[in-house]
Structure 1
Amino acid sequence: MNAAHDDGPFYHGTKADLRVGDRLTAGFRSNYRPEVVMNHIYFTALPNGAGLAAELAPGDAAPRVYLVEPTGEYEDDPNVTDKKFPGNPTRSYRSSTPLEVVGEVDDWERLTPEALRAWRERLAELREDERGEIIN
C-alpha cells in the first residue's frame, strides 16, 4: 500500500528527451541543490507542477512534461508536505523505485520570463537558508 492516497495521473518535468517505456530512477543530482544526490525520483499529479520543475531544471534543452507511472511504492514528498507545509497542496510524491514514461503532455502552462526569474531568485535564497534543506 502506498503512503500517499493519490491515484494520479502523474507527471514528471525534466529537460531530458525521453521515450515511452523509458524509466526514470533515483540517484541523480537535485535540480534545486546540485550538491545533493537524490535517493528518490519525484513526481506530481499536477501537470503545471511538473512543468515548473522542467522549467527550473538545469540545461539549455526545452522543458518537457511526461506522463509517468510509479513502478512501486511512493509517498508524499516531505519537502513540500507535512514536514514543511500542511497537507500536500502540490500533490507531490517521491519513490525509490523507477517511474515509467507512458507519454508526453504539452498542455501545461509555461512560465513567463518574469515568473521564471522570480522562481530562480527564490530558489537561490533558499539554498542559502537552512529551511531550503532537502529531506532526502
Structure 2
Amino acid sequence: MGTGSRHLSVHFDRPVDEVYAFASDPANLPRWAPGLGSSVMRVDAHWFVETPEGRARVTFAPANEYGVLDHEVLTPSGQTVYVPLRAIADGDATEVVFSLRRAPGMTDAEFDRDTALVESDLARLKAVLENPDS
C-alpha cells in the first residue's frame, strides 16, 4: 500500500475543442462515466449525479482554453474527491489524461479495480466521441 498516482491516457481521433466541449459538460457524464452515477441533474448552479449511495455533487473547473477538466465530487458521505483530468491537443487529435490518485489506506487490489473502472470510462468516452451514431 501507499500513495501515488497512475496517469491513464487515451488518444482520440477528434479535435481537442470537440473532446473538451463534450467532456466538460456534466450533462454528458452518464454517457461516458456511468460508474460515477446513473443520472445527472442541475439544481440552481450545481450539478448532481445519482449514485447507489445517494446524490453526489460534481463541480468542474471553470471553462478554460487549456483543456483542464478537473472536477471535484462531493460524495453522499461528505468526502470530497479531487479528479485531475486533461484534454491535450495532439495535432488534429487529442490525448485525454486522467490522474488517478490512490486514496490513503487503499489496497493494491482496490487501486487496480479503480484503475480498470477509469480505463473503461475513458474507452467509453473515446467510443462515444469517435462513433457518435453508435
TM-score range, shorter chain: under 0.3
Q: TM-score of the superposition, structure 2-length normalised? A: 0.26
- Structure with bigger strand share is 2
Q: TM-score of the superposition, structure 1-length normalised? A: 0.26
